[in-house]
Structure 1
Amino acid sequence: MIRNPWRRTEPLDHAELARLLPAPADPRLAPERRDLLEEFLMNEIHQSEPASAPTRRPLRRTALIAAPVAAAAVLAVVVSLGSPADTVTVAAPQLVKAPVVRIEEGSTVQLASTVREIAAAAAATARTTPQPGPGQYIYIKSRVSFMATRQNADTGESVTWVQPLHDREVWKSPDGTKGWLDEPGYQDKGGITLDNASPRKESTYQWLAAQPADADALLKSVYARVSGDRDHDQQAFNEIGSLIREQLVPSALAASLYEAVGKIPGVVVVEHAQDASDRDGIALARLDPRTGERSEWIFDRESHQYLGSRGVQVREVNGIKPGTVVERTTILTRAVVDTKHQRPTPGRPTT
């Protein structure tokens, strides 16, 4: 969460202070958004546990909240590493107003043909996709921006703010037990560890490599992991989305993954969508009926390679107006490297 680092040096009238300052921020991280960002924005953070602890560890997550102080917002990201003594405070850039775009209607008319083209492109590039070996790491560099909201308690007016676009680098071992995150301005200087003795196996390269290269069987496997009273189709869409955003998809599985997405009810094609690098592409998208947000996976119009993602509010929920872009991402590099912290060298295979 974002914590206000300002400290009082003398007694204050709390009523007067509450009148002068804007209301504290109200983070909008619905359960569906937590699912979507589970392996992207909100990473598993290293934590210590007794030997008798359960096999499945609870997730430690970071959340973004706007915290205005007087005329300016002074922000700090607090990262929990398992205990109060491990808390690290990092100054974060000031939020900016979320962009607003015209909402383009999605359609299923070209869904089948678009999915075929994307799957074919994935299959064609799979032959050159690097495969991590023992001791190696999957490296993903992306440019991202995510959302926070601020609401005025007196007027009821809310404004949607987002992080400035910034780079994010992640290193992951194939089995998910070791990793590192470097996100300058949003994590401690130099980054934080993602080591976890009991990672969520469904998010690992090792687990993906063991999945059937058949769209129907793969989709059945994905649906077997969703639960609760939330929209199961949306959960399945989010689950696959988390894999293509910040993971390396095994070559044998690449085409089947997109073919499976095309079978999820509610998925549509959006003809024009821009990623975080302002590249215009075609998108596979689905509207979350609970949050009113449409998640868009954006592909190059010619090569049909994955570019990035965008979240657009289609229906007003919690004061967030239609057309508001609540998140943007773009993939800059995917590669396999030999050690944690290593970056790809020129000429090394990337995807």
Structure 2
Amino acid sequence: MNDTERSPRGFEEQLLTDLTAHVAHRAEMASAVRPAGRRARFLRGWRLAGAFGLAVTLTASALAVQTMRLGDQPPPTANASEIFHLAADAARQQPELTARPDQYVFTESLVTIRDLPDSGPYQTIRNQLWESAGGVAYTQGRYRPEADPNGWSELRVLKMGDAADPTKELDAFQPPAYHGDLPTDPDELLRYLREHPVDLHLPEGADEEAVYGDESMAYTTARTMLHGYVPPRALAALFELLAREPGAVVISGDVVDAAGRHGVAIRMPGVIGGNADLIFDRDSHVYLGTRDSVIRNGKESVYMAAARLRIAIVDRPGQLP
């Protein structure tokens, strides 16, 4: 995928990487008190393959059918623009949350991912993030294998890495997670997003003027806003703005997100070597989360999906709503 599609998933990818060490440590502790015969089976069952190795290995065939299918039914009658307008109507009905700059936006989500982009078993973790509402502190988070209720990692500070250099940590705090200053009119929102593009941390030598001056940049920035909290009226304007983006299409058939909820997926344009989808509830059209897939040898397979379960405003990291 291109750089415009990597940046918004930075925290999920970092959480998945961090979980490798967390699970390995738990496996070592557990194996120390198990008989040798059981130890071998235990370590095979908790295989940590690839950079995003996790604790829970799901049956790939069952997941492909039940959770991550790309759709095998006739196309829906609504087009992408109509779905976005319905999502805007649903957004206006949501209760509004308010936050001070010193508070935190709490989000809980399920993330399902493969060891490798186009092969290997699917694995699922539960993430909890506490992001600074005002962008005045680092994000903190914890995570666990979905099948292990007692497997929570320690709460730790998360720093956004440089997309051009994964080993480099950025010194600045993350952008505010509470987007309370967004315009509530689509035209005004478009102007705002053009003036305040998301930082893509482009590699050295990249043509920044061409990237940030491209007409699609405002839509890319709009999609990154979905990873924080956007008040209802501004969220409605955001979906109405996305309804204007050329090239978005509705995926045919029923889609089931990483949490097992039935939805409709809109495939966004501008992705190289794969696809990025936004998922909305099939009946209420409330925003549910995202799904990313890769294309290899002409075949498409889901790589990662993230389903938002809840969002709230809290006073400190570690506090639950």
What range is the shorter-chain TM-score in? 0.5 to 0.7
Query: Residue type matched to 1:123 in 2?
Result: R
Contact 2:54 2:125 in 1 (8 A): no
* Cα 1:147/1:134, change in 2 over 3 Å: same
Change beyond 3 A, Cα 1:209–1:197: farther
Match of 2:274 in 1: 292
CA distance in 2, matches of 1:91, 1:118: 34
1:311 aligns with 2:287: no
2:111 is matched with 144
Q: Secondary structure at the match of 1:41?
A: helix
Matched with 1:31 is 3
Match of 2:69 among 98, 101, 107: 101
In percent, how many aligned pairs have the same letter? Answer: 22
Aligned AA (1:168): N
Cα distance in 1 between the residues matched to 2:2 and 2:86: 33
* Residue 278 to residue 185, structure 1, CA distance change in 2 (3 Å): closer
8 A Cα contact 1:233 1:265, kept in partner? no
Matched, 1:111 2:80: yes
Q: How many pairs are equivalent?
A: 265
* CA–CA distance in structure 2, aligned partners of residues 64 and 204 of structure 1: 23
Give the TM-score of the pair, scaled to structure 1.
0.62
Cα distance in 2 for partners of 1:140, 1:113 equals 28
Alignment partner, residue 198 of structure 1: 172
1:181 corresponds to which residue? Answer: 141
Measured against aligned partners, the alpha-carbon deviations of 1:228-267 in whole angstroms (never above 9, x if no partner) come to 66695665544333322x3111234111110111111111
2:189 aligned with 1:218: yes
Q: Given residue 81 of structure 2, which amino acid in structure 1 is its aligned partner?
A: A
| Structure having greater relative contact order (Cα 8 Å, sep ≥ 6) | 2
2:130 aligned with 1:171? yes
What is the Cα deviation at residue 338 of structure 1?
Answer: 2.4
Which of the residues 255, 259, 263 maps onto 2:240?
A: 259
- Secondary structure of 1:190's counterpart equals coil
Which residue of structure 2 lines up, in the alignment, with residue 282 of structure 1?
264
Structure 2: distance between partners of 1:102 and 1:62: 26
8 Å contact from structure 1 (residues 273, 281) kept in 2: yes
Residue equivalent to 2:180: 209
Q: Is the 8 A contact 1:36 1:239 kept in 2?
A: no
Larger Cα-atom Rg:
1
Q: Structure 1 residues 212, 39: closer, same or farther in 2, change over 3 A?
A: farther
Instruction: Provide the C-alpha distance between the structure 2 equivalents of 1:238 and 1:327, rounded to a whole number of angstroms.
Output: 19
Which residue of the partner structure matches residue 17 of structure 1?
none
1:287/1:76 Cα in 2 relative to 1: closer, same or farther (>3 Å)?
same
| Structure 1 unaligned residues grouped into runs of 5+ | 1-28, 44-60, 66-70, 79-89, 151-158, 345-351
1:327 aligned onto 2:287? no
For each residue in 1:24-60, what CA deviation from the matched residue of structure 2 results, as whole angstroms up to 9, or x when unmatched? xxxxx753442231354347xxxxxxxxxxxxxxxxx
Aligned counterpart, 2:23: none
**Structure 2 CA distance for partners of 1:222 and 1:323, relative to 1, 3 Å:** same
Deviation string for 1:38-93 (max 9, x for gaps)?
354347xxxxxxxxxxxxxxxxx95899xxxxx95842899xxxxxxxxxxx9842
Aligned to 2:26: none
Deviation at 1:182, TM superposition (A): 0.5
Are the counterparts in 2 of residues 267 and 284 from structure 1 also a CA contact under 8 Å?
yes
- Pair 1:240-2:217 in alignment: no
User: Distance in 1 between the 2:255 and 2:216 partners?
Assistant: 20
